[in-house]
A and B are shown apart, each in its own frame.
Chain A
Amino acid sequence: MTRFGVVVFPGSNCDHDTYHVLKHVLEQQTEFLWHNERDLKDSDVVVLPGGFAYGDYLRTGAIAKFAPIMQAVRRHAAEGGLVLGICNGFQVLQEAGLLPGAMLRNKGLKFVCKFVDIRVESSRTPFTNQCQRGQVLSIPIAHNEGNFYADPRTLGELQDQGQIIFRYCDNPNGAVDDIAGVCNREGNVLGLMPHPERASDAALGSADGLLIFRSLIFAAAVLPA
């Protein structure tokens, strides 16, 4: 059984949704990790959920990177541990320097909540090993600042190193190169703007998000402890 830790910033609001999928749908051992603590409770996989970490009145995630729990997350990542950032979690990982690029406001200048199709660009990652390359997943987005930007050199590196893991089929926010999700160079930290936890039950319109969580369970099982 994989041990998941779900980070809770005071303004996280998808923490319980993520916990519900991991704990009750996938029946994995799952713990909340309070932002003021430094203990990851032996988590194999750390998930930073969506929300508004500290209100995000400043740049999204700009305060969260200083949270005590982030020191532990950085260490976990440096040791090769798996880290998944969803939406606001992705933004926090960028601010913390664990993922490249930055988020601009959506091109339409409005918050956008809707189902989108994203294409899996690589199945050779801990986050997508249960998917096929080229497979299209239906997963909702819900953000105001999801317009991924990286300078041309960084973007070139992301493309060359195969770090672009998800692309939008129909770009909803102006993201450069249609990027919906990227990983770090080592491949153990991934951020994506769509919410897989919202697509983990057919009654809600899609269960495609489960593929991402199942990939993590598979990866954690084969990773050396």
Chain B
Amino acid sequence: MKTLEPITPDLLQQHGLSAQEYERIVAVLHREPNLTELGIFSVMWSEHCSYKSSKIHLRKLPTRGPQVLQGPGENAGVVDLGYGLAAVFKIESHNHPSFIEPYQGAATGVGGIIRDIFTMGARPIALMNSLHFGPLEKPRNRILMEGVVAGIAGYGNCIGIPTVGGEIYFAEVYSQNPIVNVFCLGVAKKDRIFYGRAHGVGNAVIYAGAKTGRDGIHGATMASAEFGEESQQKRPNVQVGDPFLEKLLLEACLEAMKTGAVVGIQDMGAAGLTCSTCEMGSRAGTGIEMDLAKVPQREERMTPYELMLSESQERMLLVADRGRERDVLGIFEKWGLDAVPIGRVTDDGVLRVCRGNRLEAEIPNRALVEEAPLYDRPARRPAYLDALPSGPLPSVPTTDDLQGIFQRLLSSGNLASRRWVFQQYDHMVRTNTLSLPGSDAAVVRIKGTPSALAMTLDGNPRYVYLDPREGTRIAVAESCRNLVCSGARPLAATNCLNFASPENPEVMWQFVQAVEGLAEACALFETPITGGNVSFYNETLGRGIYPTPVVGMIGLLEDERTCTTAGFKKPGDAVVLLGETREELGGSEYLAAIQKCLLGPAPRLDLERERAVQATCLEAIREGLVRSAHDCSEGGLAIALAECSLISGLGASLQLLESVRPDALLFGESQSRIVISTGQPERVLEIAGRQGVPGRILGQVRDSVFEIRDFIRMDVSAMKEIWEDGLAKYFRVS
């Protein structure tokens, strides 16, 4: 093959390839690549597709367990649920596209993660998302958030998969780099899991779904670089989603899988046709030969380069048994979708791309996948950690102020009601949603079995910034705690690691610490990591985000009737605190929102204590003793107790007795605490005693007044007005 265009340093830079990487390409090909091949290498070796900066560290994560049927490396993780069923789940980032084009960026993120799930043979049953924005006082951040939420709603609502939960977090560092992570969970028959593997020499390679256009070319490369001032010019790199088409594709693929003729299947996500073909070949140790002239196209005169790199949405690649192609094609026809054989599986391990008779690219699959560069990038403890003011803490406000502070916290961005957001998501479709959004974890029942699945997304970037290892351990602990509060036993985890540039040694240090914290906590809770995503380069003009690992966790309720929610249920019930309040204010929402300062250290986490608190809560729920359970996290004990009232409309009369300075007592964020309401407090305390967990009765559930003696006394309805308006006030339609 001839190189038609000279490979210049400029061209390499446009492709995000270094001079050394180019030399490596020439070495593995034993020749210069042509432009199409250069494009193929650039996307496959991009950070987004190759994990070249993270891979050696991700190997530290625990990925095995008796429940794990499929760990990292496939389109999604798979976990055994019993009853011959398996849970298939994963999280992905769509940060860069969402910043450029919030509606379509978020929408196509949802579309991509849904495809990752049904490609494994699972019926998607729930979506969640983790969103991080700059403060809503800035109009630009409101536009971003409104667009992202509408995009998620537009896609998920149309395709008919409920968006059941998630988290939203505000901090100034996200103004230029919002975080949009999307999670999907599906259920499959355990013995009918499909993989992205092109097995069987001679089998047909079938392209199905939307036609290929010029949209999204180099999306993966874009997601592998920081933004400058011209980032808005990258809008054409963002794809446009069509949820109706994806609905057809979903139904058609699941139906095609039932024929028994589908050997392997993978969606075309980042790096489109390139990534799906070479990954499927690489996993199976085979090659793929295809003819681009057969690829359905929606634009004229597309070049091989464009066809291979397009990230047009709603496309799938299937490998079907030779001779049974018609069985598969007929089903796509029924759903009104394009489906065309474009090539064959070969035995030589080479990705061979032709157009008609003309050879356009010829690259060994392993050069693109297994032999992609790996970097052990330098890491250095960030200077800011030593420069952080370490106290003394701001003086204690007088008790008169505490009620005022409480009210301001109720309406602060990170603590206010999320109703404005979740009401835009259809969270009830499929009629399985047992806990409405706003509780600790989302719970969906699995029809046909007595069980239900709980799921949650957690992280506290402020803690991680202050202490990457401890902050990430806390994220895992909080995920498990949220599941346990809902009555579930934690099963397995996924993760999305959002960081700034890995080429900055201080960022790399944060990353390594976070991964090690994640590994340590997941090992202790026996929640293996089954997959996930790394998103680097979340920085604009040299300003990066807080290190933002998001932990996604699923848990199992063997009996759906043990599903427990956060709101108080019955006046007269005792309110019990499991765990203890220390004098800790570091990294708290109170310091950030009220004292306007970020002081360390992050709260301390005692993993053994955490485990005992969770064991107490889960045992009490299973014994039928618990009417409500709520994790105590951002905003501290006062906010956790208030939330139990706000969700239910019931009040409480409470007294806190620890000898801790009042603001830490009310708003400190000590870990390993759960608030329970129960009709049988002595039995709950007995379990706590047996587990070695401090437990104490704080007071009682009441009708309509919320009171923490000596500090706070308000009508729940008045509290609710403030809390409900916290986000909604920024989006009012006049």
Contact = CB atoms under 8 A, between A and B. Distances in A.
B248 interface: yes
Given A16-B430, A203-B445, A204-B431, A11 B733 contact: no
Given A10-B335, A110-B424, A142 B244 contact: no
A204 B428 CA distance: 9
B242 A55 contact: yes
Nearest to B420: A110
Interface in B475-504: none
A13 B159 CA distance: 7
A6 to B, nearest CB: 14
In this complex, the member of A14, A203, A205 whose beta carbon has the largest number of chain B beta carbons within 10 angstroms is: A203
Interface in B215-262: 242-245, 247-248, 251
Contacts of A13: 158-160, 247, 429
B151 to A, nearest CB: 12
Interface string A95-135: 00000000000001111111000000000000000000000
Contacts of A57: 244
B463 interface: no
B431 A112 contact: no
Interface string B428-469: 111101101000000001010000000000000000000000
B251 to A, nearest CB: 8
Contact of A112 (B247, B336, B424, B733): B424
A115 to B, nearest CB: 8
A17 B431 contact: yes
A113 B423 contact: yes
B704 interface: no
A142 B431 CA distance: 12
Nearest to A53: B244
A108 B146 CA distance: 13
A109 B247 contact: no
Interface in B543-560: 560
In this complex, the member of B158, B426, B436 whose beta carbon has the largest number of chain A beta carbons within 10 angstroms is: B426
Interface in A36-95: 50-52, 54-57
B431 A201 contact: yes
B431 A110 contact: no
Nearest to B251: A10
Contact of A111 (B244, B426, B428): B426
B310 to A, nearest CB: 22
Given A17-B431, A142-B157, A110 B423 contact: yes
A11 to B, nearest CB: 5
A65 B159 CA distance: 20
A52 B158 contact: yes
Nearest to A204: B431
Contacts of A10: 244, 247-248, 251, 335-336
A23 B466 CA distance: 55
A50 B153 CA distance: 16
B115 interface: no
Contacts of B696: none
In this complex, the member of A108, A111, A144, A201 whose beta carbon has the largest number of chain B beta carbons within 10 angstroms is: A111
A111 B420 CA distance: 10
Nearest to A114: B423
B160 A14 contact: yes
A142 B428 CA distance: 8
A11 B247 contact: yes
A198 B428 CA distance: 7
Given A11-B158, A57-B244, A109 B423 contact: no
Contacts of B447: 20
B702 interface: no
A112 B150 CA distance: 11
B418 interface: no
Contact of A51 (B160, B245, B335, B425): B160
A197 interface: yes
Contact of A113 (B336, B427, B430, B431): B427
A17 B244 CA distance: 18
Contacts of B429: 13-14, 17, 50, 142, 198
B731 to A, nearest CB: 9
A17 B434 CA distance: 15
A108 B419 CA distance: 14
A195 B431 CA distance: 10
A225 to B, nearest CB: 32
A140 interface: yes
B430 A17 contact: yes
Given A10-B248, A11-B158, A203-B560, A198 B733 contact: no
B209 to A, nearest CB: 14
A49 B423 CA distance: 21
B513 to A, nearest CB: 40
A22 to B, nearest CB: 12
A54 B242 CA distance: 12
A140 B244 contact: no
A140 B431 CA distance: 11
B428 A11 contact: no
Contacts of A111: 153, 157, 423-426
Contact of B733 (A55, A109, A140): A109
Nearest to B419: A114
13 contacts: A10-B248, A10-B251, A13-B158, A20-B431, A55-B244, A56-B244, A113-B422, A113-B423, A113-B424, A144-B157, A197-B431, A201-B431, A205-B436
Interface of B: 150, 153, 157-160, 242-245, 247-248, 251, 335-336, 422-431, 433-434, 436, 445, 447, 560-561, 733
Given A11-B248, A13-B429, A113-B424, 16 more contacts: A10-B247, A10-B336, A11-B158, A11-B244, A13-B247, A17-B429, A20-B447, A21-B431, A110-B150, A110-B424, A113-B428, A195-B428, A203-B560, A204-B428, A204-B431, A205-B436
- Lowest 7 CB-CB distances: which A-B pairs, in order? A13-B160, A55-B244, A17-B431, A142-B426, A52-B158, A111-B424, A113-B426
Interface of A: 10-11, 13-14, 16-17, 20-21, 50-52, 54-57, 108-114, 140, 142, 144, 195, 197-198, 200-201, 203-205
